[in-house]
Every structure is written in structure tokens, then in C-alpha cells.
Amino acid sequence: MSQLSICIAEKLATLPSTPYKPYLFRINDALRRENSEAYEPEIVAIGPYHRGKVKIQMMEEHKLLYLQELLKRRNELSVDMYVIAMQELEQKARKCYAEPIKMNRDEFVEMMLLDGSFIIELFRKFSCEEQEQIDDPIFQASVIWLNIRCDLLLFENQLPFFVLSKLFDMSKDPNHGDPQENILILALRFLLDAIPDISYFRHAKMPHNNVNHLLGLVHDTYANQETEWNFIKCTTELREVGIKFEKATESFSLLDVNFEHGKMKIPPLNIEDDTEVFFRNLMAFEEYNGRTEPNYVIDYAKVIDCLINFPKDAEKLHHYGIIDNWLGDDKVVSTLFNKLGNQISINSATFCYLKVFNKVNKHCERRRHTWMAKVKHNYFNSPWSTISVVGAGVLLILTAIQTVYSIL
């Protein structure tokens, strides 16, 4: 056997007998070109992909401080127990990443321990009384913890959830058994602002092994309906055929878009500085997830993309209370959603809004609705035009009466 054959055989021997399916990827170049900053952490690096970048080094010391506080809270003097636990999870965690991680064992274990303890202590602090946050620089300025919240929902900035779960269970307060201390509740409580209209307590009993990472947890809170798809017109054109729009305040989920009796009900959506980053990373999660389930967030983004073709569409949705635009510019909102769909494919077999779209399109095809809408638009779109039409009608009636009277 040649030396090359021996070398290849040795490499083959190192492969696992049953390949492990990874779920922590890097964003591909096509997606990154659309908006590279949407996938880059601003303050804190979690996991190996952004570790060591200069601009986010200041938080590394804070990770050590949080680990120190964890030990003090439990009256422990050594990290040995936690290091051993992370060593046991090292190989399993490495397999979760889609590419080989060029870190030795100690570096990888240290990363899991520091990043994991930082996240769980951050969640605990956020849920505790205000007094316990006073001396923490992270909570002294809301812009800091809000940026951290955004960083924790980046597709490339994740730890396997089983690492967080293990450290969370190991570090519970031995003297105070709080029944509400559940990692899923605390995680969703911290991430709540990024999850409009979601009741996170319903996820308290979700099996932890069903959760891949924090971004996946947030995604799963949206996955509560199973419908399908077919394209519709923009808001302005739908209004011209008589379709009304209404803010759906009673909806359980942001994604709960419905159409009944000529009225489209859409839950309110806040457009803020980090909205694009939030949507892009959830959409990237769905794009790489590879499951046969519907892509809830991608499909929702397509709905809004259809409804907003131009700034005037965004303006109308704002007028109806459906979009709360904190960016101030309707053109920015229309551009945001028009670009979100670039480089993202729609699965027509599992599109979540097929029934909604079909109902809307059937409504548009009915001539009676179209004719009535045009009459309203042309003759009753302002008080003065309404008065003119009514006046003309009265004049016509009086003329007819006078003609009949003359004949008699």
C-alpha cells in the first residue's frame, strides 16, 4: 500500500460511522452581499465564528466577571466542575458547527464556559429585581443590552442550546428554588422585544432537546400555523378593488395574517433600526435549516414585500396602524422589505399564506367588488366629491319630477 493510500485511509478512519448533521453555519456570500452588517455582532461574540475580532474584545472581560459572579452566587471557589462538564460536551458541540473549528480543546472548552455562563447570567440579571442591576455597566445604558440582545439573535453568533441548558441547570441557586427559573422562560423574557405579541410562558414545557440555539428558539415561537401560498397585489392596488386593511390587535402571533369578508387583518409591526438584522438572521436560519416544514418568517416577509411595493404602500399601512415606522421614512421601509427577499427562495409547496392569497385574488376577480370599489374611489373619495354626487342626484330627481309634472 502506498504512503498516499495509508494517509487517505487514516483520514477516513477519523470520520464518524454515522455522520452528524450540523446546524450552525456561516452565511453564504450571496446573502452576505445583500447586507453584510446584518450578520456581524456589534458588542459580543458568541461561539467560534466571530471570536477574536478586535471591535468586540471589550466584552471578553465582562464574560469573566459574569463567571465570577456565578461562582460567588453559589459560594463556589473553583470552576473545575463546570470545566469537566464542558469537556464532556466538547465533541458533541464541535459537530454542531458546519466547518472544522480551528481551536484546541482547552480553547474550545473555555469558549463554551465563558460564552455560556455570560448568556445565562445575563438572562438571570435581566429577570431579577432592579436593585441587582444597578452596579452592572451592561444595564446602566439601555443601548448596551439592546445591542447584546440583537447580537444573541445573529445566525453566526450562536452556541448549541444544550451547552446553555447544562450550565443553567448546574448553576441554579441551591438555596432558592424558584419554580419560574426555567431557561426557556428567561431566554424569551430577555428576547421579548424581538418577539411581538408572543406569550413566552407557553414554551416553558418545550423539550430542551428540540431547541438548537437561541435564534432557533425565537423562530419556533413563530411556528404556530400551517397554511400555504399565491402572489397578491400591493396595498394601494388592493384598496382600489375595495379591500380594507385593519390592525389585528387580538392576534397571537406577528405572522397571523388573515383575510375575511373583504378585510385583511394584519398584526402590528414595529420597524426599528434592528428590524432588518432580526428578519435577515431568522430567514437565514430557515434557509439553512433544511427541514420540510414551512418557512414561516421567509413567507411572512414575502407577504409584506407584496403589500409594500412603493413608499405610498408603507404610508397607507402606517395610516391603518399596521406598521409603526420608527425610522421615519416610508421609502426606507419599502426598500427594506423589497430587498429582504433577494437571494431567498420561496417554497411554493409549503407557502404559509396560500389560502389567504387565494381569497384575496378571488375577491379581486369579482367584477362587482371591482366596480363598487371604482365608484367609491372616483365619486366618494372626499366629502366634496360625495356632496357633488349627491347634489347631482338630487338635481336629476327634481328634473325628472318637473318633467313628469309638466306632462301631467
Q: What is the pLDDT of residue 361?
A: 87
Is 227 within the bounds of a domain?
no
Helix ranges (H only) for 234-295 are 235-240, 275-289
Averaged over 146-164, what is the pLDDT? 94
Domain count within the chain: 3
Residue 54 CA: distances (Å) to CA of 51, 59, 113, 237, 294 = 9, 11, 21, 49, 38
Backbone angles phi, psi at 27, to 5 degrees: -65, 135
Q: What is the pLDDT of residue 127?
A: 82
Is 106 within the bounds of a domain?
yes
Question: DSSP character for 15?
Answer: S
Mark whether 145 and 183 lie in a shared domain.
yes
Mark whether 337 and 398 lie in a shared domain.
no
Mark whether 20 and 148 lie in a shared domain.
yes
Contact yes or no for 279/297 (Cβ under 8 A): yes
Residue 266 belongs to domain spanning: 235-365
Mark whether 217 and 282 lie in a shared domain.
no
Is 249 within the bounds of a domain?
yes
Q: What is the pLDDT of residues 167-189, one digit of tens each?
A: 999 998 766 555 457 888 889 88
E strand or H helix that includes residue 265: strand 263-266
Task: Give rounded-to-5 percent helix, strand, coil for the chain.
Answer: 60, 5, 35
Q: What is the pLDDT of residues 101-123, one digit of tens each?
A: 999 999 999 999 999 999 999 99
Is 21 within the bounds of a domain?
yes
Contact yes or no for 245/307 (Cβ under 8 A): no
Q: What is the pLDDT of residue 201?
A: 47
Mark whether 361 and 372 lie in a shared domain.
no
Q: What is the pLDDT of residues 361-395, one digit of tens each?
A: 888 877 555 556 665 655 555 555 556 656 656 66
Q: What is the pLDDT of residues 214-262, one digit of tens each?
A: 998 888 876 654 444 458 889 999 988 889 999 988 777 888 899 988 9
Is 156 within the bounds of a domain?
yes
Is 228 within the bounds of a domain?
no
Torsion of CA 72, 76, 79, 84, to 10 degrees: -140
Residues in the chain: 408
In the listed set 163, 198, 222, which residue is the last one of a domain according to the structure?
222
Mark whether 361 and 375 lie in a shared domain.
no
Is 230 within the bounds of a domain?
no
Mark whether 201 and 218 lie in a shared domain.
yes
Q: What is the pLDDT of residues 263-290, one digit of tens each?
A: 999 999 989 888 899 999 999 888 887 6
In the listed set 222, 250, 284, which residue is the last one of a domain according to the structure?
222
Mark whether 9 and 106 lie in a shared domain.
yes
Is 282 within the bounds of a domain?
yes
Cα separation of 79 and 218, whole Å? 30
Mark whether 136 and 59 lie in a shared domain.
yes
